[in-house]
Amino acid sequence: MGKIQIMDEWLSNKIAAGEVVERPASVVKELVENAIDAGSTSIDVFLLEAGLTSIQVIDNGIGMDEDDALISFSRHATSKIHQEHDLFRIRTLGFRGEALASIASVSKMTLITSNGESGTYVELEGGHVTTHKPGPLRKGTDITVAQLFFNTPARLKYMKTIQTELGHTIDLMNRLALGNPQIAFRLLHNGQQLLQTNGRGDVQQVLAAIYGVHNAKKMVSFQGESHDYKVSGFVSLPEVTRASKNYMSLFVNGRWVKHYLVQKAIVDAYHTYLPIERFPIVALYIEGDPYLTDVNVHPAKHQIRLSKEPELLKLIEETIRETIRGVIRVPQMEKKEKAAIPATEQLNIWKPTPKLDVEKMNAIVEKLYDVQTVQESSLPPIEKPQVTVTEESWQPSLLTASNPVENVQKELEQVPEQETIKEPFPALEVVGQIHGTYIVAQMEDGFYLIDQHAAQERIKYEFFREKVGQVNPNERQALLLPLTFHYAADEALILRENRPELEAIGVFLEEFGQSSFVVREHPSWFPKGEEQEIIEDLIEQVLTTKKADVKKLREAAAIMMSCKKSIKANHYLTKEQMDVLLQDLRQADNPFTCPHGRPVLIHFTTYEVEKMFKRVM
C-alpha cells in the first residue's frame, strides 16, 4: 500500500488555521468581514483580555438558515463564489470559505444565527459540533470565539502582551470602520468602549472617532477620476503629521489594503510641504472594476495587484497635490499651554474670525478638553508600540458614553469653512527685526513673524531645485585646485555605476588611477566657497544609498545647497535686505514652509491680539 493519504478535514483545517488565524486580531478581521459581507448596518465587537479569553461579534445582517449554519464550518464552504468566473469579479471581502472552519478548529465557538424565519444555535469545540439546537429569531448573527488556540499551545506562546494584541485589533477596527462609514461599529474591551462610529456614511466623523475631532477638522476632502479609476477621501493639512506611515489607510473597492507605491504617491503629492520623515493622516478610497484589482494574492488579502498602476498612481498624486496646494495657508499662532489659560480662552486653536459664534465655540472647547482629560486616564496603558500601533495613534477617542456620536457629529458640523480657502501670499510691510532672527511685518489684518533663515532656505531651495533639474554644460567653472578622491574598491565601483546620476546633478568624476577620481570643474551656480563641501556631500550621499535615484538625488542636492549659506539666526539685516527677502519669498512656489517642512511665517490676527489684551471677548 502506498504511503500517501488524503489528510482528514479536521487536520487540514488546523493547518490552514496557521495561515489565516495568526492572532486575535485575525479572528476579529474574519468575523467582522463576514458580518460586512452579510449586509449588516451595525456590528458590535466585544473582547475579553484582548480576545484571548473571548471574542464576540454581533451583527444585524442576513443571517443563515439551519443548513447553512451547519455547513459554514466546513472547509471551502462559501456562499460567495460559485464558479471560476466569480474569482475575477470579487465584490465581497471573504471568498475562500476557510475562515470559519479554521477559527472553529482552534477555539471553542458558539454560533447563534437567524435569517428571520428560523433560528439556530450551534456550539463547537476544536471544530467538532458539541451542541446543536434551535435558537432565537433575532435576524443576524452572533458568534463567540472563546479560548482561542486552546488546543494549539505553541501558537498561544507566540501571543504578545494583552496591550500588543489589543493594539492590533484596535488598529484593524479603525481601518474597517474607515472602510465602511455606512456601518455603525462598536468595539468594547473588558466593557470599556474603544471605538464607536455612527454608520451615517460620513468619513470625517469616523476620522474624528479615531484620531480626535481636533485632527479630523484639519483634514480636507479630495476627489478625482481617470478613465479606469475613481479616487476620493481625506488628507491632513501639512501641519498635522505623524512619524509613521501607518496613518495612511488605503481602500480598494472597500477593502483595506497595503500598497507601497500608492503610499509613495501620496507622500510625493505633499512634496516639500511635509517635514522630513513625517507622514500625513489619510483615508484614500480607490474604486475601479474588480477585474483591475487582484486580491487573490494572499489568504489575509492585505496585498493587492493593480492593473493600470501608473495611471492610478498619477491620478492619486495629482489629485492630492492639487488639494494640498488649494488649502495651504500660513500657520496661525497657536497656544499650547493648556493649564495657563482657561479652556474657555482656547478659542484660537480654531483660528476664529469675528464672524464665528463665540459662545458656541466656547461650549465645544470646554467639552473637548474635559472629555480628553477624562479619557486619557481611563485608556489602557500601552507598552512599547508595535508596528501597527504607535504612541500617537493612542489619541484618545472623543467618543464615550458621555460624549456620544451625535455630539462629535455636531462639533464637526461647526468646523469653520475657512480651512478650504486658498490663501495667497500676503503683501507685507516690514516693521523690523527681533533678536537678529525674526522679521516682523504687518498687513491690514494683524502682523506676521517670519523666520528669516527658513525664508531664505525656501528661496534658495527653489532656485537650486531648478538649476539641479537641468545641469547645463555651458555653465561650468574650473576649480582652482582639482579635487582628488580615493575610495575602497567597492566604493569606487558604486561611484562608477552611478556616474550618470552624479553628472545629472553637476558632479563630474574623472578616473584617476585605481579607485581614485578627480573633479576639475563644477556648475558655476554651485554655492560660492562651498563647492568642495557640496561635491563631497553629494558623493557621500550616493555611497550611502548605493543606487542613486536621480529625482531623489536632485532633491537632496537642492536641499543641501539651500541650507549651506542661508542667513542664520542672530544676523542683523537692513530694512532693504528684509524687503528683498520678502519680495523673493513672495515669488516662491511655496512660500509657507522651508524645504524641511517647518513654517516660514506665523500669522497673528488683529482679533487674536485684541483678545489677548481683552479688548474683545
- Binding residues vs ligand ADP (CB under 6 A): 30, 34-35, 38, 59, 61-64, 72, 77-80, 94-101, 141
Cell 481602500 sits on residue: 251
- For residue 135, the minimal CB distance to ligand ADP (Å) is 13
Q: In sequence order, what are the residues at sequence separation of 6 or more whose Cβ sits closer than 8 angstroms to the Cβ of residue 318?
A: 224, 269
Footprint of Mg ion on 98-137 (CB under 5 A) = 99
Cell 471560476 sits on residue: 84
Distance CA 161, CA 394 (A): 17
Does the footprint of Mg ion cover residue 94 (CB under 5 A)?
A: yes
- For residue 94, the minimal CB distance to ligand ADP (Å) is 2
Query: What is the grid cell recorded at 516?
Result: 581614485
Name the residue with the smallest CB distance to Mg ion. 94
Kindly give the residue spans of alpha helices, DSSP state H, lying in 245-390: 260-270, 309-327, 358-378
Nearer residue to ligand ADP within complex by CB, 39 or 354: 39
- For residue 304, the minimal CB distance to ligand ADP (Å) is 17
Task: From the list ligand ADP, Mg ion, none, pick the one residue 241 interacts with, judged by a Cβ distance below 5 to 8 Å according to partner type.
Answer: none
Query: DSSP class of residue 87?
Result: G
Task: From the list Mg ion, ligand ADP, none, pick the one residue 78 interacts with, judged by a Cβ distance below 5 to 8 Å according to partner type.
Answer: ligand ADP
- Please tell me whether residue 263 adopts helix, strand or coil conformation: helix
Distance CA 341, CA 225 (A): 46
- For residue 246, the minimal CB distance to Mg ion (Å) is 25
Distance CA 456, CA 450 (A): 10
- For residue 495, the minimal CB distance to ligand ADP (Å) is 53
Does the footprint of Mg ion cover residue 388 (CB under 5 A)?
A: no
Distance CA 532, CA 216 (A): 47
Phi and psi angles of residue 42, each rounded to the nearest 5 degrees, phi first = -145, 130
- For residue 43, the minimal CB distance to ligand ADP (Å) is 9
Q: Decide if 530 contacts 565 (C-beta within 8 A).
A: yes
Task: From the list Mg ion, ligand ADP, none, pick the one residue 534 interacts with, judged by a Cβ distance below 5 to 8 Å according to partner type.
Answer: none
Query: What is the grid cell recorded at 228?
Result: 479606469
Nearer residue to Mg ion within complex by CB, 105 or 196: 105
Task: From the list Mg ion, ligand ADP, none, pick the one residue 59 interacts with, judged by a Cβ distance below 5 to 8 Å according to partner type.
Answer: ligand ADP
**Which of these segments, 30-38, 141-149, 212-220, 542-550, binds Mg ion (CB under 5 A)?**
30-38
**Which of these segments, 29-37, 130-138, 207-215, 239-247, binds Mg ion (CB under 5 A)?**
29-37
- For residue 250, the minimal CB distance to ligand ADP (Å) is 22
Nearer residue to Mg ion within complex by CB, 29 or 351: 29
Footprint of Mg ion on 451-480 (CB under 5 A) = none
Cell 481683552 sits on residue: 614
- For residue 62, the minimal CB distance to ligand ADP (Å) is 6
Does the footprint of Mg ion cover residue 400 (CB under 5 A)?
A: no
Would strands 192-196 and 184-189 be described as parallel, antiparallel, or unpaired? antiparallel
Kindly give the residue spans of alpha helices, DSSP state H, lying in 3-65: 9-20, 24-37
Nearer residue to Mg ion within complex by CB, 13 or 215: 13
Nearer residue to ligand ADP within complex by CB, 89 or 338: 89
Would strands 248-252 and 282-288 be described as parallel, antiparallel, or unpaired? parallel
Distance CA 319, CA 325 (A): 10
Neighbours of 216 (CB within 10 A): 25
Residue from 9, 191, 27 nearest 99 by CA: 27
- Please tell me whether residue 315 adopts helix, strand or coil conformation: helix
Q: Decide if 569 contacts 435 (C-beta within 8 A).
A: yes
Q: Which helix (H) or strand (E) holds 241?
A: strand 241-242
- For residue 103, the minimal CB distance to ligand ADP (Å) is 8
Q: In sequence order, what are the residues at sequence separation of 6 or more whose Cβ sits closer than 8 angstroms to the Cβ of residue 359?
A: none
- For residue 142, the minimal CB distance to ligand ADP (Å) is 9
Binding mask 33-62 for Mg ion (x = CB under 5 A): -x----------------------------
Nearer residue to Mg ion within complex by CB, 103 or 468: 103
**Which of these segments, 86-94, 307-315, 338-346, 422-430, binds Mg ion (CB under 5 A)?**
86-94
Task: From the list Mg ion, ligand ADP, none, pick the one residue 187 interacts with, judged by a Cβ distance below 5 to 8 Å according to partner type.
Answer: none
HSE (CB half, 13 Å, CA atoms) of 232? 12
Task: From the list Mg ion, ligand ADP, none, pick the one residue 302 interacts with, judged by a Cβ distance below 5 to 8 Å according to partner type.
Answer: none
Longest dimension (CA), the chain: 99
Nearer residue to ligand ADP within complex by CB, 13 or 196: 13
Footprint of Mg ion on 473-532 (CB under 5 A) = none
Name the residue with the smallest CB distance to ligand ADP. 94
Nearer residue to ligand ADP within complex by CB, 142 or 171: 142
Cell 507685507 sits on residue: 428
- For residue 95, the minimal CB distance to ligand ADP (Å) is 5
Q: Decide if 398 contacts 408 (C-beta within 8 A).
A: yes
Task: From the list Mg ion, ligand ADP, none, pick the one residue 38 interacts with, judged by a Cβ distance below 5 to 8 Å according to partner type.
Answer: ligand ADP
**Which of these segments, 12-20, 96-104, 319-327, 377-385, binds Mg ion (CB under 5 A)?**
96-104
Nearer residue to ligand ADP within complex by CB, 100 or 203: 100
Footprint of Mg ion on 350-379 (CB under 5 A) = none
Query: What is the grid cell recorded at 113?
Result: 444565527
For every residue of 371-383, which 3-state class applies, written as one string? HHHHHHHHCCCCC
**How many chain residues interact with Mg ion (CB under 5 A)?**
3
Distance CA 304, CA 313 (A): 14
Task: From the list ligand ADP, Mg ion, none, pick the one residue 72 interacts with, judged by a Cβ distance below 5 to 8 Å according to partner type.
Answer: ligand ADP
Q: Which parts of this chain interact with Mg ion (CB under 5 A)?
A: 34, 94, 99
